[in-house]
Amino acid sequence: MSSASEQWQNPLRDPRDKRLPRVAGPCSLVIFGVTGDLSRKKLMPAIYDLANRGLLPPGFGLTGFARREWEHQDFGQVVYDAVKQHARTPFRQEVWDRLAEGIRFVQGSFDDDDAFDRLADTVSELDTERGTGGNHAFYLSVPPGAFPLVCKQLARSKLADDGPEQWRRVVIEKPFGHDLASAQELNAVVNDVFHEDQVFRIDHYLGKETVQNILALRFANQLFEPLWNSNYVDHVQITMAEDIGLGGRAGYYEGIGAARDVIQNHLLQLMALTAIEEPVSFNPRDLRTEKLKVLSATRPAEPFAKTTARGQYAGGWQGGQKVPGLLDESGFSKTSCTETFAAIELEVNTRRWAGVPFYLRTGKRLGRRVTEVAVVFKRAPHLPFDDTATEELGQNAFVVRIQPDEGVTMRFGSKVPGSTMEVRDVTMDFGYGHSFTEALPEAYERLILDVLLGEPSLFPVNEEVELSWEILDPVLRYWEKNGSPETYRAGTWGPPSANAMMARTGRHWRRP
């Protein structure tokens, strides 16, 4: 795809130096859904942080679209407050002033043709006033029910039309449907208006440094790859635990649940990166090819009564505070069957992974906030020690700590100092904070910049989304037919069935 941004050259940058970050060319971003939490807490701060890092063009434009009766300056104030409250990098008045000059607001609803015509005028004014060159990205931070209408309006007002000299891109946030059929419908609607290389589907986990580091750890080192297969690996555990509850999120979460919210996307992407074969290169096509292969080979293990667990948090104590159960959170039905905890076992039917279960679990109101990928190794085939010497020896593990406390832990056995031979588990740690002076950028900084650069590697394509639904759908159907989720007390690690699904094969969940 030849685009204006690819032709634009930052005069300060030596194009031969690949270590320097790429700077976005002339362009603007339009956000639909600017009154939502995501915009305030993530998107607006990320845009400022990018500007502060010098990665946006000097004439960058930012347009908000919403129903509120706001003037440009009211929206500017909203962005300012969001930046002040949530930006990662320090506030610099001169950066803000430059960004503020490019802020615009268009008032209207999604069914209002005039509003979209005004939006078209606004972006073309930005082209004249700020030199955005006809290059515009449209960020749909809106419920999926609104996608079809917004896409239709963008088509009608010709905002979706790209050309040899200008690009137009659309960014969509999950959920991409609630099952395979609805995802296919949604994709059809989006692809009616935009061709596939204009579409950027956000899975913000792929924007996280620690997630991208899975590829570096696996494919830049000699140490791990020889062991990374069913000869040595016993199983893989992927955990995304959160301590927060769902107060205030009923509108989105009721009827969706933990599996659709994060397993279908974030956790299956983590699984895919852990399990893929080495890509021929890291260009988007080669990486995608490997991800598609591994997702195609993945199935949920059966019988689901024994290989899955589903829970809903009840009231309890967390962080010294009494917290309500889901059924007492505002907006949730008193008979809600929405799960707040989900765990599944997957099989990856490839030569590398046959027989190695991948366990995925996630939950709200769990013991603490932690996301990790743990590769747990088989025991040594022979232990030439007295039985008592290795009583406290567990299984070796390689753990990628996605967040917080980002880094990697290796667990292995070591002799306890003393006159007898006693082996106990110890850990060896790499922490970003100790090893690098560079701070970790927010996922949304990386992803928004990639949209503006037209760099699609970190965005799941249509087929990945559909394959992920194919994996999850049978479990969701089984759960729907088989009663309600088990309850678990807030602040614990999920329902008893979660432990049972591991215990039946003599395994157990790590306590991160």
Catalytically annotated residues: 266
Give residues 367-406 in contact with ligand BG6 (rule: CB under 6 A).
Answer: 371
Helix, strand, coil tally for the chain in percent (to 5):
40, 20, 40
Residue 303 carries which DSSP code?
A: -
The residues near 292 (Cβ < 8 Å, ≥ 6 apart) are 463, 464, 467
Residues 201, 204, 206, CA angle at the centre, nearest 5°?
A: 90
Mask of contacts with ligand BG6, 177-216, x by CB under 6 A?
---------------------------x------------
CA atoms within 13 A on the CB side of 434: 7
In the structure encoding, which two tokens stand for residue 114, read together?
């005039």
Q: C-alpha distances in angstroms, 477 versus 190, 250, 325?
A: 26, 22, 25
In the chain, the largest separation of any two C-alpha atoms, in whole Å, equals 84
Cβ distance to ligand BG6 smaller for residue 115 or 262: 262
- Across the strands, what pairs with 492? 366
Cβ distance to ligand BG6 smaller for residue 162 or 406: 406
Cβ distance to ligand BG6 smaller for residue 132 or 371: 371
Give residues 89-118 in contact with ligand BG6 (rule: CB under 6 A).
Answer: none
CB of 204 to ligand BG6, least distance (A): 6
CB of 109 to ligand BG6, least distance (A): 25
CB of 166 to ligand BG6, least distance (A): 32
Cβ distance to ligand BG6 smaller for residue 145 or 384: 145
The residue of the chain with the least Cβ separation from ligand BG6 equals 261
Q: Find the DSSP H helices in 220-355.
A: 250-253, 257-258, 268-275, 284-296, 304-307
Q: Collapsing DSSP states into helix, strand and coil, what is residue 110?
A: coil
Give residues 238-277 in contact with ligand BG6 (rule: CB under 6 A).
Answer: 242, 261-262
Q: How far is Cα 320 from Cα 323, in angstroms, rounded to an integer?
A: 9
In the structure encoding, which two tokens stand for residue 512, read together?
């991160």
CB of 340 to ligand BG6, least distance (A): 10
CB of 359 to ligand BG6, least distance (A): 19
49 forms part of the interface with ligand BG6 (CB under 6 A): no
Cβ distance to ligand BG6 smaller for residue 224 or 252: 252
Give residues 347-366 in contact with ligand BG6 (rule: CB under 6 A).
Answer: none
Q: How far is Cα 99 from Cα 83, in angstroms, rounded to an integer?
A: 11
CB of 413 to ligand BG6, least distance (A): 32
In the structure encoding, which two tokens stand for residue 183, read together?
């995802």
CB 509 within 8 A of CB 361: yes
Cβ distance to ligand BG6 smaller for residue 37 or 111: 37
- Left if phi > 0, otherwise alpha if psi is -120 to 50, otherwise beta: which for 226? alpha
Cβ distance to ligand BG6 smaller for residue 305 or 439: 439
In the structure encoding, which two tokens stand for residue 239, read together?
């955990």
Total binding residues toward ligand BG6, as defined by CB under 6 A: 5
Burial class (CB in 10 A: 0-12, 13-18, 19+), 86: middle
CB of 206 to ligand BG6, least distance (A): 11
CB of 295 to ligand BG6, least distance (A): 19
Residue 266 carries which DSSP code?
A: I
Q: How many CB atoms lie within 10 A of CB 465?
A: 25
Cβ distance to ligand BG6 smaller for residue 240 or 467: 240
Give residues 487-506 in contact with ligand BG6 (rule: CB under 6 A).
Answer: none
Q: How far is Cα 122 from Cα 288, in angstroms, rounded to an integer?
A: 36
- Write phi, then psi, for 409 (nearest 5 degrees): -120, 135
Can you give the binding site for ligand BG6, defined by CB under 6 A?
Answer: 204, 242, 261-262, 371
